[in-house]
Amino acid sequence: MKSKIYLMIASFVLLGSVLSCTEDDLDPTLAQSKAVETSITELADLTGILNGAFNRMTSAFYYGRDFIIINEIRSDNAFSSAVSNRFPSVSKMELLPTDAYARDTWTQIYAVIASSNILIGQDLTKINGDETKKKHVVGQAYALRALAHFDLLKLYGQQHVTGGNDLGIPYVFKYKGEDLYPKRNTVAEVKKFINDDLDKALTLLSATLDTRKDFVTIQAVNALKSRVAIYFKDWAVAKTACEAVINSNKFSIAASTGYAATWIAKQPSNSIFELAYSATDHQGINGLYQIYNNTAYGDIEALQNLKDVFDSGDVRATTAMIGLDAKGKLRNLGKYRSPTFADNIFLIRYEEVILNYAEALFRINAADANALTRLNSITSNRGAVAYTVVNEANILQERRRELCFEGFRFDDLARTGRNIPLVDAVRQTHGGPAYGSYNYAFPIPTNEINANSNMVQNKGY
């Protein structure tokens, strides 16, 4: 039997007219009437496939809900009450290889990779259209392929599991490739491939075409490079990437007076890269609004310990941002709050880059005064008390305060070698696993193990 990854990719073919595709037409599991190799002849075809990749990223199984929630409820920020039986196994950190949360996110992210690889594999000389624009589309595909593999590695890789033997995830380079039973690349290999893809993207993207934040831009790639570098402790790389974003002078930190409004704005000044939604194109009841707010599901509640880390005047902790609902449940009320589900999802905000920069400066030289200046550029725009010193604890605290509910907290704890804090033994059903525990990684899905004789299961599953 073919690997699930490749079975999915090999079955993904397009209709003759990409422009007429519906969301269902772009599903990678559907067999359509034409092979993709012969259906792409115009720039518009490339753009259609790129839009399909973005569409897959907005899925509830990926950035539309699950990937963000997974990384909040495995931390000291939030938990699942399982009021509608959503995310109980994730909140407990007791997944089985048959668990739908392990399977669906794995499959969805590889679908994004499949779309990206279709674009990357094209001979652009045989496609009609402006050369710069064609390269710009393919450059975005390289960036999306890098981001997708990075997200897979963070969720399924063994880099934080003692005795995990440096197992990463399969890095897929080709659409309909010949290797039907891919082995898992090492973590080091995956890291290299991610950076290679990001560097390649920068050679293809055009500054003159960087006009929308709901597409990948040069500065989005630089920001992503800084995120990857921070995760892998490549401080010099992170510093350089952050400076490229900062020196572009295209972004600004949201001020405290307008902070709440940025969360329902389209492409505000602090947004670097976002996924587009609208009142007619959204995840609806399966999106972030419904899982965070007590309007339909509301399984995900905030922990009081998170609320307590904010200063009294901090705009991020007002009752409009983190407050009690009608039933007295503490909730994220300010982020992803549109009841019409139309607010975009910010994948990269400028504030993250500033925090990455502050950390990189500190790690390179703990005496660098600019690290404290950059850290306090966030607090000064939030009504928070300025830090007097910069250290790892303060950096992680400010990241927790600024990035809460956005899916960063678990990775920040893991990449700094920390145990999962047990701050509420009743609500946190995972019990506070120690760093290195097997459940710091998700299991490889059973259907992938069964389909691929070369696939190795994660330790402990």
Q: Is 330 exposed, middle or buried (0-12, 13-18, 19+ CB in 10 A)?
A: middle
Give the pLDDT of residue 11.
40
Residue 55 in contact with residue 67, Cβ under 8 Å?
no
pLDDT in tens, 313-369: 999 999 999 999 989 999 999 999 887 788 899 999 999 999 999 999 999 999 999
Q: Which residue did the predictor score with more confidence, 177 or 239?
A: 239
What does pLDDT average to over the chain? 92
pTM higher than 0.85 for the full model? yes
Task: Give CA angle at 262 (291, 202), nearest 5°.
Answer: 95
pLDDT in tens, 240-263: 999 999 999 999 999 999 999 999
Return the pLDDT at 23: 37
Structure tokens at 422: 């047990």
| pLDDT greater at residue 12 or residue 392 | 392
Burial 99-132 (b: 16+ CB within 10 A, else e): bebbbbbbbbbbbbbbbbbbbbbbebeebebeee
214 is a domain residue: no
Lookup result for tokens 């290889």: 97
In a domain, 271, yes or no: no
pLDDT at 36: 66
pLDDT of residue 219: 98
323 φ, ψ to 5°?
-150, 180
The answer to whether residue 158 sits within a structural domain is yes
203 found inside a domain: yes
Query: Per residue, what are the HEC states of 211-277?
Result: CCCCCCCHHHHHHHHHHHHHHCCCHHHHHHHHHHHHHCCCCCCCCHHHHHHHCCCCCCCCEEEEECC
Domains held by the chain: number: 1
Q: How far apart are CA 4 and CA 113, in angstroms?
A: 13
Q: Residue 28: which of 55, 1, 68 has the closest Cα? A: 55
Q: Is the pLDDT of residue 122 over 90?
A: yes
pLDDT tens-digit readout, 133-146: 999 999 999 999 99
Q: What is the average pLDDT across 376-403?
A: 98
- Average pLDDT for residues 3-11, to the nearest whole number? 46
Which tokens in the block code for residue 52?
A: 């399909």
Task: Please check whether residue 153 is in contact with residue 168, taking contact to mean a CB–CB distance below 8 angstroms.
Answer: yes
pLDDT at 15: 30
Residue 174: phi and psi, rounded to 5, are: -130, 145
Token pair 């079975």: residue: 7
Q: What mean pLDDT do residues 31-44 have? A: 69
Q: Is the pLDDT at 398 greater than 90, yes or no?
A: yes
> For position 282, what pLDDT does the model report?
84
Q: Residue 76: pLDDT above 50?
A: yes
Quick check: 12 pLDDT over 60? no
Tell me the residue length of the chain. Answer: 461
Between 380 and 34, name the one with better pLDDT: 380
pLDDT of 444 over the 70 cut: yes
Over range 414-429, report the average pLDDT.
Answer: 98
Q: Is there a domain that residue 100 lies in?
A: yes
Residue 169 lies in a domain: yes
Q: Quick check: is 297 in a domain?
A: no
Measure the CA dihedral 83/84/87/92, to 10°: 40
Instruction: For residues 344 and 58, give the distance between their C-alpha atoms in angstroms, rounded to a whole number.
Output: 10
CATH code of the domain containing 42:
1.25.40.390
Domain with 115 in it = 1-78+90-209
The helix/strand/coil state of 457 is coil
Strands 78-80 and 322-324: unpaired
Are β-strands 271-275 and 345-349 bridged in parallel, bridged antiparallel, or unpaired? antiparallel
C-alpha span between 302 and 21 (Å, rounded) = 40
Instruction: Work out the average pLDDT over 431-435.
Output: 98
CA pair distance 338, 189, nearest whole angstrom? 40
Q: What is the pLDDT at residue 38?
A: 65
Residue 17's pLDDT band (cuts 50, 70, 90) = very low
Please work out, in degrees rounded to the nearest 5, the angle formed at the alpha carbon of residue 138 by the alpha carbons of 217 and 211.
30
Q: Which two tokens stand for residue 312?
A: 């009294």
pLDDT of residue 37: 57
Q: Do the domain assignments include residue 62?
A: yes
Task: Pick the more confident residue, 60 or 281.
Answer: 60
Long-range contacts of 21-26 (CB under 8 A, 24+ apart): 21/48, 21/52, 23/55, 26/52, 26/55, 26/56, 26/115
257-297: pLDDT as tens digits: 999 999 999 999 999 999 998 877 888 889 999 999 877 79
Q: What is the pLDDT, as a whole number, of residue 16?
A: 30
- Range name among 18-27, 72-81, 119-128 with the lowest pLDDT average: 18-27
User: What is the per-residue pLDDT across 158-200, written as a single tens digit (0 to 9) for each?
Assistant: 999 999 999 999 999 999 877 789 999 999 999 999 999 999 9
